[in-house]
Amino acid sequence: MEKVLIVDDDVSIVESLKFALRDKYDLYLAYDSKTALDHYLNNEIAVTILDLKLGNENGMELYSRIREINHKQLLSLLQPMVLFAHQ
């Protein structure tokens, strides 16, 4: 199964996405940038769903860090979220 990382500080959004995707993907959940980056570095994540506003954090900063690690990816904006697939 493909691995999907869901990053959002809103528990209800994470739970909704988890419910919708749980039967088709291995899911990794994060509510902050540090946990998200740990999941990303320790797993072969195929797709990341990323909120642009992570509480007091900036989701675009996390996106930039992940992009530095893996610059080959597809990006779609889903305001206020970012969805990108890693190649």
List the CATH number of the domain containing 57: 3.40.50.2300
Contact 24, 67 (CB under 8 A): no
Query: Tokens standing for 40?
Result: 């990303």
Question: Residue 48 belongs to what domain range?
Answer: 3-86
Contact 52, 9 (CB under 8 A): no
Strand-pair partners of 74: 85
- Output the CA torsion sign for 65, 70, 72, 77: negative
Query: Tokens standing for 7?
Result: 């990053």
Q: What is the pTM (predicted TM-score) of this model?
A: 0.85
Cβ–Cβ contacts within 10 Å for residue 16, how many? 13
Q: How do residues 27-80 score in pLDDT, each as one tens digit?
A: 999 999 999 999 999 998 888 888 888 888 888 888 888 888 887 655 444 456
Give me the number of domains the chain comprises.
1
